[in-house]
Structure 1
Amino acid sequence: MRVTLLGTGDTAGTPRPGCDCDTCLAARERGVERTRSSVYVENEETGERLLVDTSPDFRQQFLREGVALPDAAVVTHIHFDHLDGLGNVYRLLDHLPVYAADETDPETGESVSATIRRKYDYLDAVSVHPRTPLETFRVCGFDVTLVPVDHPPLLTYGLVVEQPETGATLALSGDTSYRVPEASRDALRDPDLLLADGIVPASLCEYHPLGGRDEDAEGTPRTFGTKHMTREGAVALADDLNAEELRVVHVAHRYPPDEAFAEPLGIDGETFSL
């Protein structure tokens, strides 16, 4: 299994358009960027390619990394930075199966899979395949499981991608607070690589209108507001899940420049062989 981080940024990305903060300036000077969320997983056993989330930066990401177009996609939730690049398949692909959760969200009145089918009904190339969370399914030769996480007010999902021949496992927290349900933690446990939401360092929680929550024993917030983990929350989740390696993703430009490009924060274009 070969994993490429196509997009490691939050909704606005880094560098952020029109922003001259020290971190965005440093990103431009380094030639580093964090585009919107997307992960590319190649099955080296079968030659198939799975895309996790269809970033609005789809075209740029595929051109930049020089990778082949996907054979299938999984979408974790309906926020635009994870979904709205799906229109890029128009005239690029003859067929793209898209897998997403089938449970109805009380907030929207429809499931993630139903929303995708409704929004992209004009794309003949897209076929939508509803899947039940915590029930493993096979796609691109991988065993894939959608796992419920916590990103209010919407239902959102993390993901487990396992290569059955080798046992190599990729886990993604998806967009979530630290309040990942225990059943989902069990499903995510012991990955070779964890990609975990960590939008800002815990030190910035004081600037959020709702502050931070889910503090550890030292009082460090592991959730920024209500929707995303802090970097410290992502590290704590990796420890709890016994992850062999961690990359923090969905990263905002608000990290101080001396922290913004240091591990375990991910940057676009990183690759991992599992």
Structure 2
Amino acid sequence: MKVTFLGTGTSQGIPVIGCECDVCTSLDFRDKRLRTSIHLEVDDTSIVVDTGPDFRAQMLRERITHLDAVLFTHEHKDHTAGLDDVRSFNFKQQYDMPVFGRKQVLEQLKQEFSYIFAAKKYPGVPRVNLNEIKNKPFEFNGVNIQPIDVLHYKLPVFGFRIKDFTYITDVNYISDDEKEKIKGSKALVLSALQKEDHISHFNLSEAIDLVNELKVPQAYFIHMSHRLGKHADIEKELPEHIDLAHDGLKIEL
């Protein structure tokens, strides 16, 4: 199983438009963060989790030429805005793209991309096959996927566990029952927005505490704001078994 971090930034990305802070003006490539998304290669299956506004650039940068499915964590624009660009895969692969999400996410996609679902479609629009998922395991192309139900303030968000890998973005609360699904993971990817408290995201210390509570041997933090600080500086503050992810980082399990 191979994991590629397509983007690791928060909804505005880094640098933020018009900002001249130390992070946004940093020359370290690890401080350049597109909107959060991930690519999974599980055996022969290629899956992307979330298609944010930077989806096209991410596919080109990583030279991803085949995509079997898209999983959506939730309906916020920084996680869905790039859906239109799956049409390149439609043309190349000659089939409708399977898309998985909870009911309210699929309904939001129908509103945001109404032209995709119109009765009379304009030639060349994306072709997608919507699949509703609930908080129970499902299988796609031989890959077993375990949703993990978390809260982003009051908005339900799905994390996903595949084999020994768990991915959770946009979260500030996980129930004890859902934490049980994470235990035993060899690697956990988790949102850590900034050092200060936030109404809908774990801050840095909360994310570290959760990793330690679950006793995950390796964790990577994502969905980071420019307010968190420079990559190089924060890395020095983290425990040995926790790292900040960065765009383009690849890990194998």
Q: What is the TM-score when the length of structure 1 is the normalising length? A: 0.80
In structure 1, the partner of 2:84 is 87
Amino acid at match of 2:108: T
Q: Is the CA contact 2:49–2:72 (under 8 Å) kept in the aligned structure 1?
A: yes
Residue-by-residue CA offset, 1:192-242 (whole Å, 9 max, x unaligned): 2111010012xxx2xxxxxxxxxxxxxxxxxx2220001111111112222
Map 1:1-274 onto structure 2 (within 5 A). Answer: 1-26=1-26, 29-32=27-30, 33-43=32-42, 45=43, 47-93=44-90, 94-102=95-103, 111-123=104-116, 124-133=126-135, 135-162=136-163, 169-177=164-172, 179-201=173-195, 205=196, 224-257=197-230, 258-260=232-234, 264-274=243-253
Rounded Cα–Cα distance in structure 2 between residues aligned with 1:42 and 1:73: 12
What is the alpha-carbon root mean square deviation over aligned residues?
1.7
Q: Which runs of 5+ in 2 are unaligned?
A: 117-125, 237-241
Return the offset for 1:92.
3.7
Rounded Cα–Cα distance in structure 1 between residues aligned with 2:21 and 2:142: 43
Rounded Cα–Cα distance in structure 2 between residues aligned with 1:173 and 1:91: 27
Q: Which runs of 5+ in 1 are unaligned?
A: 103-110, 163-168, 206-223
Return the offset for 1:182.
1.1
Residue-by-residue CA offset, 1:56-98 (whole Å, 9 max, x unaligned): 1001111111223321011010011111111111344242101
Q: Is the CA contact 1:72–1:140 (under 8 Å) kept in the aligned structure 2?
A: no
Quickly say closer, same or farther: Cα 1:125–1:57, change in 2 above 3 A: same
Q: Which runs of structure 1 show a deviation greater than 6 angstroms over 4 or more consecutive aligned residues? A: none
**What percent identity do the matched residue pairs reach?**
27
Return the offset for 1:260.
4.7
Quickly say closer, same or farther: Cα 1:235–1:146, change in 2 above 3 A: same
In structure 1, the partner of 2:121 is none
